[in-house]
Structure 1
Amino acid sequence: MSAHLTRRALAAGAALLATPRLARAQAWPSGPIRLVVPFAPGGSTDLTARLVGEGLGQRLGVPVIVENRPGAGATTGSQMVADAPPDGQTLVMSNIASHAISPALYPNLRYDPVTSFTHIAMVITNPSAWVVNRDSGINNLADLVRAAKARPGGLDMASSGAGSSNHLMLVRFCELAGIEHTHIPFRGAGPAMVAVIAGQVPMMSDSLPSAASHIRQGTVRAIAMSSAERHPGFPDVPTFREQGFDMSSTSWFSLSGPAGMAAPVVERLHREVMAVIATPANQQRFAEMGGTPGDMTPAEFSAFVASEVARWAPVVRASGATVG
């Protein structure tokens, strides 16, 4: 057989192998899409997922079913999606905890936050807000430090889970302030907020989207914001730096799927997500939540995840935190 015929035969074989995958991509979506949220209902990840899921369902013409699978610092639900078929029918609301912090925090993590996933779209970024129970007597960070020093072992401080960015902010703040604390991890920001409102825990570090409505309603008091400058939606809440603590942090929430998803499906999903978050109603909703809509391409988003893994690894090591 000539070299020319051999090349033609190889090309034909490759085309035959590619045809089923292309056909599946063209037929997508083939039914309801499962959107896994690796936290309990009520937190920022969950709220963002439900906004995106509703809009995607309308645009794609199939139900987008939000499924909460909390546990292990957002790694349980993320692992489920990493193990799922890359057919575009199972997605995850990826976030700073599951895809930036966990690789350093969990030495036995079975997925790679970059290569085990297809990263599709950045949805929203936002700062964290520190909130306290209304009757705690804590009005600012100085009050928080005094309260912690007055109590043996320090204060109980809650977050949405071990290994979240909010957990690491608690660790870093206590190091800077020279105080002790007991971290109370919850399986999501929703349950943690309920505990703070009820007075079971005096304070928590929370992503602004899930805390915003409670701050506005006055069910909790905000004492600090992790943004570099005061947030325009909450101009009365001072930053950490204004109160003498050199801290700032931004959380992010995004859409990812299993590694190996077909390019046409990824492109369609990215296009539809960008359309969903660009609607006036969702722009207003994100502003109310205190978030900034994302605008990265899939390639830019993948590079961003890699850079976040590198950024957070030394922070986790410095905190001494480890799980598993």
Structure 2
Amino acid sequence: MKRRSFALATTLVLATLPAWAQNYPSRPIRLVVPFPAAGATDLFARTLTHTMGEKLGATFVVDNKPGAGGSIGSDAAAKAPADGYTLLLATTSTHSIGPALANKLPYDTVADFTPIAHVGNAPSIMLVPTTSPAKTVKEFIDYAKKNPGKLNYASSGPGTIVQLSAELFKAQAGVHITHIPYKGTALAMPDLMSGKVDLLFDSLPTGLPYVRDGRLRALAVTSLKRSPLAPDLPTVADTLPGYESNTVFGLYGPKGLSPELVARLNAAANAALADPDMKEKLSRLGIEPVTSTPAQLAKTIADDTAKWKKIIVERKITSD
């Protein structure tokens, strides 16, 4: 019933658009992904555009422009013509954490972009060695409080969502755990498995295999609700109410994108994300699909930015 209502609403939106917007697109649409090919954001982009293209009657071309924490690709998308043929798949790194970390970005996340749709969230998984005495989040907090300054956590580098997830946890739990940065979480795994590292917040798809084959122990996921990818795991919020850490994915156009094109793209994105096959594919990537209005995306990013900025300032976190 909900799917039929959603389909009807989408049809009504499209029917109210002017003829030129209804004829859009007439050529391929470029989706800029500001991260390398084969990474989580890239895989999400290719999955999304395949189904979104079917709903829109369009061909999408994914254009990977990695570098500088995603700011190179984001800047390229911001400076593109506002004609609906260049879009950006932004993330928490480019639109929430980046602005709070960098002294100066080449773009303004609010003034230089037009929000289209909040398209997904990717929670993390809280991992400890199998030799850890902690089997729950509460037990880990108690263990850390009994051993102040003696425990450590790994991250994929300074200023990353991995570090900020741990710092948010430390702030809410009231514990002192030392940061050990690595050049990617994959490089931290051997030390985590051996017990040289006590904690890591990793992405669900990369962390779960280590749990399933018994090399690591999972304590919780970082979303407010349990993840379909790991339904048996509790959330950190079950122990620390309100704790939440997601990589937020948002679809944007350059500033000045017309309301008609925004409506057309938003309807296509929402229709794609409501598709059962799409939900199944994204679940395998550890991504929870989201349908939204442009205004909801703008609010989500604003709230996310405020949360991470508070942690960055309070904890004196830098990207160096």
Letter of the structure 1 residue corresponding to residue 176 of structure 2: G
What is the alpha-carbon distance in structure 1 between the residues aligned to residue 240 and residue 140 of structure 2?
13
Q: Determine which of 168, 178, 181 is the counterpart of 1:183.
A: 181
What is the alpha-carbon distance in structure 2 between the residues aligned to residue 132 and residue 85 of structure 1?
47
Q: Determine which of 180, 187, 196 is the counterpart of 1:195.
A: 187
Larger mean Cα displacement after TM superposition, 67-76 or 230-239: 230-239
Larger mean Cα displacement after TM superposition, 258-267 or 305-314: 305-314
**Cα pair 2:81 2:254 within 8 Å, conserved:** yes
In the alignment, does 2:70 pair up with 1:78? Answer: no
**TM norm structure 1:** 0.73
In the alignment, does 2:233 pair up with 1:237? Answer: yes
In the other structure, the counterpart of 1:157 is 154
Letter of the structure 2 residue corresponding to residue 184 of structure 1: Y
Q: Pairwise CA RMSD of aligned residues?
A: 3.8
In the other structure, the counterpart of 1:55 is 51
Deviation at 1:106, TM superposition (A): 1.0
**Cα pair 2:162 2:201 within 8 Å, conserved:** yes
- Correspondence list, 1:86-165, <5 A: 86-131=82-127, 155=152, 157-159=154-156, 162-165=158-161
**Cα pair 2:32 2:62 within 8 Å, conserved:** yes
Mark the CA change 1:297 to 1:275 in structure 2 (over 3 Å): closer, same or farther. Answer: same
1:88-138 C-alpha deviation (Å, 9 max, x unpaired):
222111122211222211121122212211111111124321235779998
**Cα pair 1:87 1:261 within 8 Å, conserved:** yes
Deviation at 1:85, TM superposition (A): 1.7
**Cα pair 1:225 1:239 within 8 Å, conserved:** yes
Mark the CA change 1:184 to 1:253 in structure 2 (over 3 Å): closer, same or farther. Answer: same
Larger mean Cα displacement after TM superposition, 246-255 or 24-33: 24-33
Mark the CA change 1:153 to 1:83 in structure 2 (over 3 Å): closer, same or farther. Answer: farther
In the other structure, the counterpart of 2:6 is none
**Cα pair 1:114 1:305 within 8 Å, conserved:** no
What is the alpha-carbon distance in structure 2 between the residues aligned to residue 84 and residue 91 of structure 1?
9
Q: Percent of aligned pairs with the same residue?
A: 34
Deviation at 1:82, TM superposition (A): 1.1
What is the alpha-carbon distance in structure 2 between the residues aligned to residue 321 and residue 273 of structure 1?
35
In the other structure, the counterpart of 1:19 is none
Runs of at least 5 residues in structure 2 that lack an aligned partner in the other structure: 1-17
Larger Rg computed on CA atoms:
1
> Partner of 1:224: helix, strand, or coil?
strand
In the other structure, the counterpart of 1:8 is none
Letter of the structure 1 residue corresponding to residue 249 of structure 2: F
In the other structure, the counterpart of 1:17 is none
1:163-193 C-alpha deviation (Å, 9 max, x unpaired):
333321223345532121222254xxxxx3x
Q: Determine which of 273, 279, 282 is the counterpart of 1:277.
A: 273
Q: Determine which of 35, 40, 56 is the counterpart of 1:39.
A: 35
> Partner of 1:93: helix, strand, or coil?
strand
What is the alpha-carbon distance in structure 2 between the residues aligned to residue 174 and residue 220 of structure 1?
21
> Partner of 2:177: helix, strand, or coil?
coil
In the other structure, the counterpart of 1:248 is 244
> Partner of 2:108: helix, strand, or coil?
coil
> Partner of 1:39: helix, strand, or coil?
coil
Q: Determine which of 285, 295, 314 is the counterpart of 2:291.
A: 295
